[in-house]
Amino acid sequence: MQENVKKHSHLYSIFTCKCPRCKQTNLFLNQNMYYLPDLFKMPERCSVCNLKYEMEIGFWWGAMYVAYAVSCALVIAFFLPLYLYFKFSVDMSLLIDICLMFLLFPVTFRLSRSLWIHMFAHQAVD
């Protein structure tokens, strides 16, 4: 029972990139986010509830703002411990930050799209 509740929660569906309406179908065609040829590929609609993912032209532009906010939070979260606790120089801390953000790009991209569609799915009309 507990496992079923977790799978149908909004946070679970956001972080696992599931459809915001039915929480069953994957938002992306390939679940391996580090397979770069399929990083951006999404189905047009959910195969279970028929929710149209791109609700209007340019819908995903807003996800860029979410990605920017998530990236800024991650940069700060990585920079401060490196600089203040581990006593790396500013240059070295920034270099490590840049490398980490490059490696985490697929995660932030998909997470931002998932967050964005979950914010607007309750308003979607097919």
pLDDT (tens digit per residue) in 53-78? 998 999 999 999 999 999 999 999 99
pLDDT band at 4 (very low <50, low <70, confident <90, very high): low
What are 29's two structure tokens? 């065609």
Q: What is the pTM of this model?
A: 0.86
pLDDT attached to residue 124: 59
The runs of H, that is alpha helices, within 28-82 are: 61-80
In the chain, where the domains are located: 2-123
Work out the mean pLDDT of the chain and round it to a whole number: 91
Q: What is the mean pLDDT of residues 72-90?
A: 96
Residues of 30-39 as b/e, b for ≥16 C-beta within 10 angstroms?
eeebeeeeeb
Nearest to 3 by CA among 26, 22, 31, 12: 12
Distance CA 6, CA 119 (A): 19
For residue 5, pLDDT over 70 is answered with no
d(CA 56, CA 43): 15
